[in-house]
Chain A
Amino acid sequence: MNRINICFEKLDSDGNKGLIAFVTAGDPSLDATPEIMHALVAGGADIIELGVPFSDPMADGEVIQRASERALSHGTSLNDVLDCVLKFRQKDLDTPVVLMGYCNPFQQMGLDPLASRCKEVGADGVLVVDLPPEEAAPFKSSFEPLGIAQIFLVAPNSPVERIRKICEYASGFVYFVAVKGVTGDKQFDGHEIRENIERTKSIAGIPVGLGFGIRDPRAAGDAAAISDGVVVGSAIVEIIEKGKTVSEISENVTHFVQELRIGINGSV
C-alpha cells in the first residue's frame, strides 16, 4: 500500500489531520534538502511535498519563484531531486514524499522512466501543477501500474462536474486550492470556500488537503477544521531563505512546523 494512504488512515484512526510541508529541492543546496526534510518530519510534518524547480513556475508567487531560481542556479535537475528522496529514505522509510512541479521537466525525463525512478527511490506521488485531468492520461498510464499516486488540484471555481472529473483521476489525496491566485499570495478565507470543499469531500472518496494562503498556526488550524490535511509552503520556504546555515534552517523549520502542528491539533 502507498505510504500516502497509510499515513491518512493512521491520521484518521488517531482523529487527527495531516500536515503537508512543502520545500523546493536544491534550496539552498542539494546536500541540505534531505536534512531539511528530516527537520520537517521532526517538527511534525506528516507528508513532504518536494518541489521540483522549474524555470517558469507560473502558479507560484515570488517566494517559491526565488527558491526555484536558487535551486536552478546550481543546476538542480529532476534526477537530483529524485536522488534527494533516495537519501531521505536512508533514514526515513515511512513519511510519504510527493514530487510537486511543472509538466515540462517531468515529460522531458519521459514518464515511464520517471515512474520507475519514483518507485526505486521511494517517491510516493506526483503533483503536476499545470496538468488538468484533460491532459493527464499519459501520466496515469505510466504511474498507476506502479502504484505512484497522482495528486490533482481542485480550485475554488471548479464546478461540480469538474470536481467529479478530477476525483476520477486522483489518487492519494485531492489538493483543494484555497484561494484564486498564486502560492504565498492571498490569505485564505474559510467561509468563501466552505461549500466547495464540502462538495469536494463528498465526491472525492479520498482525503482532501487544503493549500495556498496558509502561513501561520492559526490559519493552519482553520484549514484543518474543514479538511483532512493542510499544506504549508511559502512560509516554510521563507524560513529557508532567511537562514544562514543548514543547521540554523533545520532548527527554525522544525520549530515552525511544531507551531503549525499545535495549531492543527487545537482545531480537532
Chain B
Amino acid sequence: MKNDKVNTVGNDEQYEVPLPNENGYFGDYGGRFVAETLMQPLLDLEAAYKKYMSDDEFLTELDNDLTHYVGRPSPLYFAKRWSQEIGGANIFLKREDLNHTGAHKVNNTVGQALLAKRMGKPRVIAETGAGQHGVATATIAARLGLECCVYMGEDDIKRQSTNVFRMKLLGAEVIPVTSGSRTLKDALNEALRDWVTNVDTTFYIIGTVAGPHPYPVIVRDFQSIIGRETRSQCLEQIGSLPNALVACVGGGSNAIGLFHPFINDTDVAMVGVEAGGEGVASGRHSAPLSAGVPGVLHGNRTYLMQDECGQIESTHSISAGLDYPGVGPEHSWLKDIGRAQYETVNDNEALQAFDRLTTLEGIIPALETSHALAYAEKLATVMGQGKIIVVNLSGRGDKDIQTIATLNSITL
C-alpha cells in the first residue's frame, strides 16, 4: 500500500457502486426534501461533483492534500495487548485519529473545500457536534483562504470548549445555536438556514453522510478512502480480509467510510454502533436505527427518533458527536437489507472501553469512538481467537478530557 498512489474516489475498480439512484435514493431512504430555494444549488453541486470526480487535475490535487496535508494513508495497527486482555479475536485499529486535526472528518472537508473553491464560493459553513468537523472545516478554510462560519449547539459549545477555541484560533466564526435541543440537530437546522440565505456565495460543507442528495454520496465517497486503505492493508499485513468491521454511528460518516469498500465482501460482517446513552429502554439515547422509525429530517428520508406525531425527539449521549436523532440514509438501507447490523453501547460501557484502550495501548480515543471499542470487546469474545476485527479509531480523545475530568470530579 505504501508504494501505491493514494486511492481517491472515482477511480476505484475494486467494487461497484449501484446506489443511490438518480434521485438520491438508497432503497426507500435518502432523497431531497428541501425548500425549493435549495433545489437548484443541490443540482448544481451534483453536476460539479460529477464533473470534478472525473477531472484528473482535481483528483491529483485531492491525492496530494490527503497524502501531504492530512498524512494518509493512516496506519492499520494491531492492538495486541488490548486484544490479549480481552482474550478473543485479534483487534486492529484503523488509526484515523492520526490524521491532521485528529479525526476522520478531515478526509471529507479537504474534498468538499476543493469543490467549493472550484465552484467559486468564497465562504464555507458547517455544522458541528463534537467540534471535530468544525475544526476540520476551519482548518481547510484557513489553508485555502475561505471565510468560515461554524454552527454549534450551545450545549456542545460547553462540553467541547477546546475545539471551540481551536476553531477560533483558525479564524472561523463559531455561532452558538440556542434553538431546540441546542445540539447537533439544531446546528444543522441553523446551517441550512444560513445556506438558503447566502446560497450565492456559500458552500455548505456537511460533515456526515446525511442531508439532501448528493451530500450522502459526496461524504461517503470522500470517506471511503478509510475502507479502501483498510482493505489493502489487511491483505498486505494479515494476508486476508477481516471477519468483522466495527465503527460508531452518529450520522454515520466514519462507519460508511470503513464499510463501503467491503459491501460486496459478504463474508466481512459490518457492525455500526449507536449511542445507547443511559440505555435504550430508558428512552435517553441516540439510537435511531435501533429504536427509531423512518421519517424525513434534514433533507432525507431515514430512520429517526420521533414521537407518534412526527416531532423529532431529543437525544442523549455522553458524546456530542453521536448526539443526533437521525442517521445517514445509506445506513438505513444497509440495516433493512441486512448487510450491516446496528447495535448500541451505553455511556458507561463506552467510558470503560475508553479507559482500557488508554491504559493498555497508550491511545486516548474519542468518546464517540469508544462506543465502537466497547462493542468490539464484546464481539471479540464471541468470535474467539483466530478471528480478525477492524475497528475504525475515528478520532482521538484530547477533546474529551474535560468531560472525563468532570465525571471523575477532577478540576483541570
Residues of A within 8 A of B (CB): 54-59, 61-62, 65, 69, 72, 77-79, 102-109, 129-132, 134-135, 152-159, 162, 166, 177, 180-182, 185-186
Contact = CB atoms under 8 A, between A and B. Distances in A.
B35 A59 contact: yes
A73 B199 CA distance: 32
Contacts of B179: 62, 65, 69
A104 B309 CA distance: 9
A162 B41 CA distance: 12
B268 interface: no
A65 B310 CA distance: 17
Contacts of A62: 179
A156 B23 CA distance: 23
B20 interface: no
B192 interface: yes
Interface in B298-335: 298-299, 304, 306, 308-312
Contact of B196 (A54, A65, A72, A180): A180
Given A54-B311, A162-B39, 6 more contacts: A58-B189, A72-B311, A107-B296, A132-B39, A155-B35, A157-B37
A147 B186 CA distance: 36
Given A157-B41, A180-B199, A108 B308 contact: yes
B32 A78 contact: no
B40 A158 contact: yes
Contacts of B298: 56, 58
Contact of B199 (A55, A56, A132, A157): A157
Among A58, A78, A103, A154, which residue has the most Cβ atoms of chain B within 10 A?
A58
Interface in B146-193: 179-180, 185-186, 189, 192-193
B114 interface: no
A158 B193 contact: no
Given A132-B32, A180-B196, A182-B193, A158 B310 contact: no
A135 B33 contact: yes
A113 to B, nearest CB: 13
A132 B197 contact: no
B185 A56 contact: yes
B59 interface: no
A105 B34 contact: no
Contacts of B309: 77-79, 105, 108
Contact of B197 (A129, A152, A185): A185
Contacts of B200: 180
B31 interface: yes
Contacts of B16: none
Contacts of B306: 104, 108
B192 A132 contact: no
5 contacts: A108-B306, A134-B39, A152-B36, A177-B36, A182-B196
B34 A130 contact: yes
B98 interface: no
Given A65-B179, A134-B32, A155 B40 contact: yes
Among B192, B200, B309, which residue has the most Cβ atoms of chain A within 10 A?
B309
Contacts of B295: 104, 107-108
A61 B36 CA distance: 16
B297 interface: yes
Interface in B256-312: 295-299, 304, 306, 308-312
A55 B40 CA distance: 26
B273 to A, nearest CB: 25
A133 B10 CA distance: 30
Contact of B310 (A106, A152, A177): A106
A56 B180 contact: yes
Given A182-B196, A182-B197, A177 B296 contact: no
B197 A55 contact: no
A229 B267 CA distance: 61
A180 B195 CA distance: 9
A109 B199 contact: no
Contacts of B310: 54, 78, 104-109
Given A55-B312, A105-B309, A157-B199, A135 B193 contact: no
Contacts of A186: 197
Contacts of B180: 55-56, 69
Contacts of A152: 36
Given A107-B295, A135-B31, A155 B311 contact: no
Contacts of A59: 35, 193, 196
Interface string B133-155: 00000000000000000000000
A154 B36 contact: yes
Contact of B36 (A56, A104, A132): A132
Contacts of B198: 180
Contacts of B37: 153, 155-157, 177, 180-181
B189 A56 contact: yes
A242 B215 CA distance: 40
Nearest to A130: B33
Cβ-closest 4 pairs across A and B? A108-B310, A105-B310, A155-B37, A181-B197
Nearest to B213: A134
B312 A134 contact: no
A131 B34 CA distance: 6
A69 B179 CA distance: 9
A135 B32 contact: yes
Contacts of B32: 132, 134-135
Nearest to B313: A55
A106 B311 CA distance: 10
B203 to A, nearest CB: 15
B145 to A, nearest CB: 25
Contacts of A156: 37
A72 B179 CA distance: 13
Among B23, B40, B198, which residue has the most Cβ atoms of chain A within 10 A?
B40
